[in-house]
A and B are shown apart, each in its own frame.
Chain A
Amino acid sequence: MLTKLGATFMTASLLALMSLAPTGCSSGGDDGSDGGFVEPPFTNPLPEQSTFSDDDIRHLLSRTHFGVRESDFNYVQGKGVQAYIDEMTLFPWKPSYETAADAVIVDPLRPSQSELSRWWLQIMQNSYRPFQEHLAMFWHDHFATSQVVLDAQSRRWMKDHVNTLRYHGNGNLRTLLYKMSVDPVMLVWLDGVLSTKTSPNENFAREFWEIFSLGADNGYTQADIVEASKCFTGWRTRYDAVQDLTFMEFDANRHSTVNKTFFGQTITGRTGSQGYLEYQDVVDVTLANRPVAEYIVKRLWEAYVYPNPDTTTIVTPLANLLKNGNWELRPVLKAMFRSQEFYSTQSKTTGFIKDPVQMFIGFSRTTGLWPSLTTLDSSLNNAAHRPTMPPTVFGWPPGDAWLSSQGVVERANYIRECIRYKSGTPSAYVYPVNPILPPAGQQTDANIVDRLITLLRISPSSTERQTYIDYLNTDYNGTSVIADPWNATSQTMIDKKIRGLLYIMAQHPSYFVR
C-alpha cells in the first residue's frame, strides 16, 4: 500500500482515513522534499505575515527547531518562509535517520529504559525535520506518560507510544485522542488495565478531561467521571509465559455494558467484543459537547507563541479552524506560524525558558559538538528531562521552574560534556570544533566571537563581547597569548580556547531563553 503513496508526503490523519495500517507520513525521498505533495486549500483565520525579515526566520526556527543552525537559516531564506512552514509541518515516513536509530534498541521485544530514550534522542540528533520531534515533545508533555510503569515484558510499548506522538502530532486530534485512550502504556500508567465493570477505576477518565482535553474543572463533574470511567472498562494485560512477554487485550467479560450518561448524552452500552469501542464514544461525546478545541489551541499557542492569548482574536478563530476542519491539527500549526502575531513584538520579547531537551539538543545541533549518546541521555536524566520519563501525568513543570539552582548547574555540566568528549586510543576529540570557525583568512578574534554569538543566538553587551575576545587571546593572568588575526599555533590551543569560549558563552543568561 505504501508504495502507491511513495511519492507523496501526507499527514498522519490522511493515512488514517484511508485505513492504511501503519499511520504516519510518506515521503518521496530521504531528502525532506515534499515529493510532489499538493497542498490542500488553506485560509488563515489570523492576519498573515506577508514579508519576513532575517530575524523573523531566526525567531521561527528558535521556537520550532532545536537551536538555529546556519544551514537551516540559509535553507529557509532561500525557500521562503511560508513554503518552509508548509514543508516543516509535513513529516517524513521512515527517513534513514529514523531507521538507523532503530539499531539503538538491541532487542526490539525487550528494550531497556535507556535504549528507549536514547533511540528517540538519536532521532532528535539527526533529524532533518526537527519540528516533528519538537512537536512530539509538546504532545509528550501534554499526554505525559512515563515508561517507568513498564517492565521488561512490556517496555516495547513505549516505542509505539512515542511514535504515535511523533506520527500524529501534526495529524488529527480525534485520532490522537482515540489512540491515547487505548494506548497500552497509558492503560498501565493510569490504571486502565485495572478498571472493571464491578470496579471502574476513575483515574484515566478524570485525567482524560482534566489534562488531555478540557483542563481542570472545565465543564465536567465527579458524576461525569464515574460514568465515563465505565466506558473504559475491560482492558487487561495478559502474560504469555512461552514468549515471556505481556500483551494488552480487551476482555469483554470485564467491560461494563450498562448505558452511560454524561454531558447530557447517553452512550448505549456495547456488548461483546464491540465493548471496547466505547473509548471512541467518550472522545466523540467530549469533542461534540465541550470546548476541547479552545483548550488545545490555547495549549499550542502557549507552547509556541506566548502565554494568555486573546480569546476573541486568537483562540476562537483557531478553535473554529480546528473544529470546522474535521479536527485536523496541521492547518492550526500553519495558521500559528504564518500569523502576524507569531512575529509580533510581544511574541519575540516574551520568550520561553528553554527546557533541557531544547537547550541540549539545540547546543549540539548548532555547534556540532555532541557527547556520547549515553551521556546525552544521562545528562537529560540529571536535568530531570529525560524523554519517555515525564515525572507525573502533568508533564514537566513549566517555564522558569527550569531555572532551579540544580537545573542551571546541569546545563553547564552538559556543555562541559560536549566540549570534552574524546574517544579511542590515544583518545581524540570525536567532534572537531574547527568547522564552526570562520574560513581561513577571516579569522580575526572579533569575527570568531561574532560567529559564535550568532551561532548560539545570544545577545551580549559590547563589554561582554570584549570579554569574550579577551578570553580568546589571553591567558590566566591576562597575558596575551594569541595575536590578531587569530593565529592559534596549535590544535591544542584551538581546542582550549574555542571549547572554553563555548562553555563561557553557553552560560550567558540570554542563552537560556528562546
Chain B
Amino acid sequence: MDKNTLTQMTRRGFMRLTGAAAGVAAWGALSDKVDPTQRINAAPLNQKRLVVINLSGGNDSLNMVIPRTVAEYQSRRTGLAIPAGQELALSGNTSYGLHPKLVNIQSLYNAGDVAIVNKVGFPTPNLSHQVAQDIYSYGVRGSFIPLSIPISGWLARYADAYAVGNPMGVASIGFGKPLDFSGGVQTNFLVDSLSRFQFFSDPYFTNNHTYRINIIKSILAANTSTGLVGNARAALDASHTLSVQVQAAVADYVANFQVAYRWPGYPGTTATPPGKAATSISNRLRDISILINGGFNTQVFYTGFGGFDTHAAQGQGTGAHATLMEQLDDAIGAFAADMQAMGQWNNVALVVITEFGRRNYVNGSAGTDHGHATAVMVIGGAVNGGVYGPDITSTDLQAEYLSMGVDFRYIYSQLVANHMGRATAPVFPESFSAPGTPFTVI
C-alpha cells in the first residue's frame, strides 16, 4: 500500500487547507471525454473514482460498528448484540469495534484507509424504505420547487454536469436503474452483470449476425426520434457500442488479471477459497474492477446488494446479518487487493451507505425494525482514517432510534469536492447543516 508518497500527502494536506473550490482547479483538468475505445487493454486511467455501495433494506449499523463501551448496547439487544469481546478492535480506538466478520475492513481501518461516520441520516427522518431511499437517491430532503430544478437523482445531476457525452461516465452495476439516475438528460451505463451484457448471435445464421447488427446500428445512428422513443434510441445505441468494448475489457481482465487476483477473497489463484463462494456483491465489485482495468472513464459507480431488512432472526456473530457482513467484507477485501495491484487504490473511494439504520433494541422476532440514523463507511487509499461524527452515548441507546448527527450529504459533498474535484452546487443544490464538530473524511 502506497499511503505515504509525497504526492499523496501533499494532496491530502492541500485539500484540508483549501477545501472544495481549490479542489476543482487542482483536479478538474482530467478529461472526462476520453473515448473508451482508446483505452481498452491499456493501463487503467489514472483518475479519481467513487464507488457507492448501497446496503439495501436498512442496515443495522449498531451491529456493524459496535459501541462496545455503552452498556445499553448489550442490555437492549439481548440475543442480538455481538457478545462482548467478539468485536474486532480498531487501532487507536477503544470505543468502537467492528462486526466479527469484517476482517478485511478491520485491516484496512488499521492501515488508515477507513473513515467511519456515526449517526448519519437526513433531517426529519422517515421510517419508510421508499421515502428514505428516495431521499438518498435525490440528495434532496425537501421540495424541488424552491430549487428551481426538475426532480432528479444526484447521480443524474452529476452526470449532466460532469460526464456530458460520456455514456460510461456514471454507472450502475447490478442495481438496475436506481432513482439516483432518474430525471437527467445524460445516458448512463446501467447493467446487471458484464457477462450478459452482449448481443448473442443467432446460432443458425452466425454469418448473418454482424450484418444484422450493423443494420440496426445504422438505423439507430440516423434515427431522430424524441421523447420516450428517443430515450429508447439512445439506450439501444449506447448498448450496441458499449457491449463490444465491455466484452473486450472482460476478456482482457480474465486473460491478464484474474490469474493473480481471485474473487471473492485474496490474492492467489483463480480457485475459490475454502468456504467462500461468489456472491452478488463480489460479482458486482469484480465487474467494477474489470471496467477500471479496461480503461473506461467512469467517474462514479453505483452498486450494492439487498437483504438488510432484518426484521426477524437477524443473528449475532453468525446468522443472517453476519452473512451479509461477510459478503460485504470479502468483496471489499478483494476489490481493495485489485485496486492496489492496479495502482489505483489511492484513486478510488468507496462509500458504504444504507437508507436508514434500525431500532436500538431487539424486536419480538429476534430482529430489528426500521430506525433513523446509521453508520457510513468511507474506504480508500486517500481516505482520512478514523471514527467521526457524534459519539453514540448511553442516552442515545436508551431512545427508540439514533438521531441524526451528520447529514449524509456532508459526506457525499466531500467525496464530490475533495475526491472527485468537482463543485458540489450542481449535485447538491439544497442546503444542509454541517455537523457540530466538522471533519474531513477525504
- B202–A499 touching, CB < 8 Å: yes
Whether B9 sits at the interface, judged by CB under 8 Å, is no
B211-243 contacts to A, CB under 8 A, are 211-212, 215-216, 218-220, 222-223, 225, 227-233, 235-236, 238-239, 242-243
Bound-state CA distance A343–B299 (Å) is 44
> What are the residues of chain B within 8 A of A461 when measuring CB–CB?
223
- A509–B204 touching, CB < 8 Å: no
- B232–A353 touching, CB < 8 Å: yes
Whether A351 sits at the interface, judged by CB under 8 Å, is yes
- B128–A404 touching, CB < 8 Å: no
- B129–A500 touching, CB < 8 Å: no
Measured between C-beta atoms, what is the minimum distance from A383 to chain B in Å?
A: 9
A201 with B182, Cβ < 8 A, contacts A216-B130, A403-B231, A500-B202 known: no
> What are the residues of chain B within 8 A of A410 when measuring CB–CB?
196
- A199–B363 touching, CB < 8 Å: yes
Whether A79 sits at the interface, judged by CB under 8 Å, is no
> What are the residues of chain A within 8 A of B369 when measuring CB–CB?
201-203
Whether A508 sits at the interface, judged by CB under 8 Å, is yes
Measured between C-beta atoms, what is the minimum distance from A198 to chain B in Å?
A: 6
Which secondary structure dominates chain A's binding surface? helix
Whether A406 sits at the interface, judged by CB under 8 Å, is yes
Q: Which of A110-118, A294-302, A392-400 contacts B (4 or more CB under 8 A)?
A: A392-400
Q: What residue in chain A is nearest B196 (Cβ atoms)?
A: A382
Count A-side interface residues using an 8 Å CB cutoff: 64
Whether B203 sits at the interface, judged by CB under 8 Å, is yes
- B199–A500 touching, CB < 8 Å: no
Whether B364 sits at the interface, judged by CB under 8 Å, is yes
Bound-state CA distance A27–B232 (Å) is 41
> What are the residues of chain B within 8 A of A460 when measuring CB–CB?
219
Q: A413-427 interface mask toward B, CB cutoff 8 Å, 1 = contact, 0 = none?
A: 100100110100000
Q: A492-514 interface mask toward B, CB cutoff 8 Å, 1 = contact, 0 = none?
A: 00011001100110011110110
Total residue contacts A-B, CB cutoff 8 A:
176
- A401–B128 touching, CB < 8 Å: no
Bound-state CA distance A349–B201 (Å) is 34
Q: What residue in chain B is nearest A419 (Cβ atoms)?
A: B202
A463 with B222, Cβ < 8 A, contacts A198-B364, A404-B190, A509-B233 known: yes
- A504–B216 touching, CB < 8 Å: yes
Bound-state CA distance A79–B197 (Å) is 45
- A403–B177 touching, CB < 8 Å: yes
Q: What residue in chain A is nearest B193 (Cβ atoms)?
A: A406
- B364–A509 touching, CB < 8 Å: no
Measured between C-beta atoms, what is the minimum distance from B421 to chain A in Å?
A: 27
Measured between C-beta atoms, what is the minimum distance from A4 to chain B in Å?
A: 46
Bound-state CA distance A463–B218 (Å) is 11
Bound-state CA distance A201–B362 (Å) is 12
Measured between C-beta atoms, what is the minimum distance from B441 to chain A in Å?
A: 30
> What are the residues of chain A within 8 A of B220 when measuring CB–CB?
507, 509
Measured between C-beta atoms, what is the minimum distance from A151 to chain B in Å?
A: 14
Q: Out of B130, B215, B231, name the residue touching A504 (CB < 8 Å).
A: B215
- A409–B177 touching, CB < 8 Å: no
Write the residues of chain A forming the contact surface with B, with a CB cutoff of 8 angstroms.
191, 194, 196, 198-203, 206, 210-211, 216-217, 222, 349-353, 382, 384, 391-394, 397, 400-410, 412-413, 416, 419-420, 422, 460-461, 463-464, 467, 471, 475-476, 495-496, 499-500, 503-504, 507-510, 512-513
Q: A201-B365, A401-B177, A406-B191 are in contact. List 5 more A-B contacts (CB 8 A).
A: A202-B369, A408-B235, A420-B203, A507-B220, A509-B220
A-B contact pairs, 23 of them (CB 8 A): A191-B365, A194-B364, A200-B364, A201-B364, A216-B130, A352-B228, A382-B196, A397-B176, A400-B228, A403-B177, A404-B192, A405-B189, A406-B196, A407-B235, A408-B232, A409-B197, A409-B239, A413-B199, A416-B202, A420-B204, A471-B212, A499-B202, A510-B225
